[in-house]
Amino acid sequence: MTQPSFGVIGLAVMGENLALNVESRGFPVAVYNRTAEKTKTFMAERAQGKNVTDTYTVEEFVKALAPPRKILVMVKAGKPVDAVISQLKPLLQEGDMIIDGGNSLYEDTQRRTEELEAVGLGFMGMGVSGGEEGALLGPSLMPGGTPEAYDKVESIVTKIAAQVDDGPCVTYIGPGGAGHYVKMVHNGIEYGDMQLIAEAYDLLKNALGLNHEQLSEVFAQWNQTEELNSFLIEISAEIFKKIDPETDRPLVDVILDSAGQKGTGRWTVVSSLELGIPIPTIYAAVNARVISSFKEERVAAKEQLAGPSGKYEGDVQSFIDKVRDALYCSKMCSYAQGMALMGKASEEFGFNLNLSEIARIWKGGCIIRAGFLDKIKAAFKENPKLPNLLLAPEFKQTILDRQEAWREVLAVSNQLGIPVPAFSASLDYFDSYRRDRLPQNLTQAQRDFFGAHTYERVDKPRGEFFHTEWMENS
Ligand code: NBP
């Protein structure tokens, strides 16, 4: 058996499946997991007869690998990554490389890159998306680090990634924490997509009264459309069909309406606030998960805070079509926000991101994979400096054509008291972005009134600042 030069540390769902994926493409693999029992189970149940070397100490793991070693770390983000790095560091030699494939915060990746490069070791922060199945059969990969480090892993990552019509779903993203930054924004967009879909579901179920078979049919039809065809719409159609064996009810109805989160959505919002790029749809999605978690409080509040209820009384099919349009318009706004955030981060952190390529590698393997990413790819290929996706010819006309339906859906939601925070945040984003005059002239006047913060004037060049003694002679 050829000695492996590629190893995986961390045999939870992602590590196990990535190790098997790498092995299936013809690369022998060594594996190690802190808890030995997991390694033994993995070897017995999934890796038997495969080109996988099991090891039970970090020393044994490093010895099993031929230099230059490429070590993929798939452990829980945060302290565990530092713990693994500090165990590996004294055992590795110049030219070896650690690849952190977890959902690490990009700033941690930046720090780890500097620390390891200072001692002659390579380090890459690689975003991996696609969940369990993607990891096994082909994920979308977002590797960041030096171009030289990428050259060393290119032959492997291009083989293990999902393959789409225009190549493997992997590309060199950029230096330092670029890969993890892009993965973080991918997850923020994923939060946005999931919330928008949840709002569409809420409207179809509660404003129209569709049952679960009808919901499944609508989502399956939407999945056939060029604009909404996507993994998340596809799995939603399947979810509505699933019956709970215990209660014989649709399983989705039995699931508690309290959403979890692991932090990447929140990090995306924090970064957007730091960089001054509004991402209200994604922020609304994060907040929607938070408020959903106040289950007991919401149940108690229902008794005290009455509001409108009832069903939509117009034509059902036409309203379904309008919800589809509202979903698509909102989705365009959400992606416009995510792409704008990456554009700003690219400038600010010197990532030199290729937004067209990023849209391309999200076409397959990852959770947000969708037909319409092809259009985003084309838009940024045509104009890499596009200030906002909504201005791209591919999107501009579509949103203009559908805005009336979008507005009607929001009006109906408001009348019926059905919360649609991400639909609303998207429309507010659209309306704010397209307005040449916003009411922040008053904000500036107030700031100058109470804090002498000064203001600029519409009839004077930008950069000239004025102050008024507001209470004088009044
Ligand atoms: P988890 O995030 O659940 O992490 C479990 C793994 O971390 C186990 O192998 C565990 O070893 C190891 N570990 C921990 Br916890 N502390 C450790 C330490 N101090 N030293 C060494 N090992 C330690 O696994 P996962 O769900 O496979 O995800 C791995 C990474 O990939 C995470 O960063 C995750 O956010 C990211 N990710 C996950 C998905 C997904 O769908 N699950 C998708 C994309 C990215 P043990 O067995 O000894 O406890």
The whole-angstrom separation of Cα 319 and Cα 407 is 12
The whole-angstrom separation of Cα 229 and Cα 220 is 9
State the closest ligand 1 atom to the C-alpha of 15, by its place in the atom list counted from 1: 27
- Of 278, 392, 398, give the one whose Cα is nearest residue 337: 278
State the closest ligand 1 atom to the C-alpha of 13, by its place in the atom list counted from 1: 27
pLDDT digits (tens, 9 = 90+) for 149-181: 999 999 999 999 999 999 999 999 999 999 999
How many A from CA of 229 to the centre of ligand 1? 31
- Cα separation values, 455 from 179, 191, 437, 468, 469, Å: 40, 37, 15, 9, 12
pLDDT at 42: 98
pLDDT at 209: 97
Tell me the CATH class for 437-474: mainly alpha
Positive or negative: CA dihedral 224, 280, 282, 275: positive
Q: For residue 140, what are the β-bridge partners? A: 129
pLDDT digits (tens, 9 = 90+) for 327-385: 999 999 999 999 999 999 999 999 999 999 999 999 999 999 999 999 999 999 999 99
At 97, which helix (H) or strand (E)? Answer: strand 97-100
Tokens of 165: 């019509």
Average pLDDT of 56-66? 98
Tokens of 470: 């507001």
The whole-angstrom separation of Cα 58 and Cα 189 is 37
pLDDT at 211: 98
Tell me the CATH class for 183-434: mainly alpha
Instruction: Look at residue 377 and give its three-state secondary structure.
Output: helix
- Of 15, 81, 84, give the one whose Cα is nearest residue 47: 15
Average pLDDT of 235-263? 97
Range 6-176 classified under CATH 2.102.10.10: no
Q: Give the residue, by CA position, lying nearest to ligand 1 atom 11.
A: 34
All residues at 6 or more sequence positions from 221 whose CB lies less than 8 Å from its CB, including other chains: none
Would the CB of 38 count as within 6 Å of ligand 1?
yes
The answer to whether 6 and 98 are in contact (CB under 8 A) is no
Tokens of 263: 């932090």
Q: Is the pLDDT of residue 474 over 90?
A: no
Structural domain boundaries in the chain: 6-176, 183-434, 437-474
pLDDT at 58: 98
At 9, which helix (H) or strand (E)? Answer: strand 6-9
For helices 421-434 and 178-202, give the axis angle rounded to 10 degrees: 110
Q: Give the residue, by CA position, lying nearest to ligand 1 atom 39.
A: 131
pLDDT at 472: 86
pLDDT category at 473 given cuts 50, 70, 90 is confident
Q: Give the residue, by CA position, lying nearest to ligand 1 atom 35.
A: 103
The whole-angstrom separation of Cα 53 and Cα 47 is 9
Tokens of 82: 């530092």
pLDDT digits (tens, 9 = 90+) for 29-44: 999 999 999 999 999 9
pLDDT at 348: 98
The whole-angstrom separation of Cα 150 and Cα 178 is 13
pLDDT at 382: 97
Mean pLDDT rounded to a whole number for the chain: 97
Tokens of 349: 């952190």
Q: What's the DSSP call for residue 367?
A: T
pLDDT digits (tens, 9 = 90+) for 269-299: 999 999 999 999 999 999 999 999 999 999 9
The alpha carbons of the chain give a radius of gyration, in whole angstroms, of: 25
Which one of 38, 76, 108 would you pick to mutate in the ligand 1 pocket, going by the greatest count of ligand atoms within 8 A of its CB?
76
pLDDT digits (tens, 9 = 90+) for 389-438: 999 998 999 999 999 999 999 999 999 999 999 999 999 999 999 999 99
Tokens of 261: 């989160």
Q: For residue 100, what are the β-bridge partners? A: 73, 125
Question: Where do we find the tokens 């400038």?
Answer: 347
State the closest ligand 1 atom to the C-alpha of 11, by its place in the atom list counted from 1: 9
How many A from CA of 212 to the centre of ligand 1? 35
Tokens of 53: 């070397």
All residues at 6 or more sequence positions from 454 whose CB lies less than 8 Å from its CB, including other chains: 448, 465, 466, 467
Would the CB of 8 count as within 6 Å of ligand 1?
no
The whole-angstrom separation of Cα 208 and Cα 321 is 12
Tokens of 439: 């009411």
pLDDT at 2: 87
Average pLDDT of 185-195? 98
The answer to whether 409 and 312 are in contact (CB under 8 A) is no
DSSP for 131-189, please give it: HHHHHHH--EEEEES-HHHHHHHHHHHHHHS-EETTEESB---BSTTHHHHHHHHHHHH
**Residue 455 is which amino acid?**
Y
pLDDT at 136: 97
- Of 161, 204, 130, give the one whose Cα is nearest residue 24: 161
- Residues carrying an active site annotation: 183, 190
Question: Where do we find the tokens 């009808």?
Answer: 214
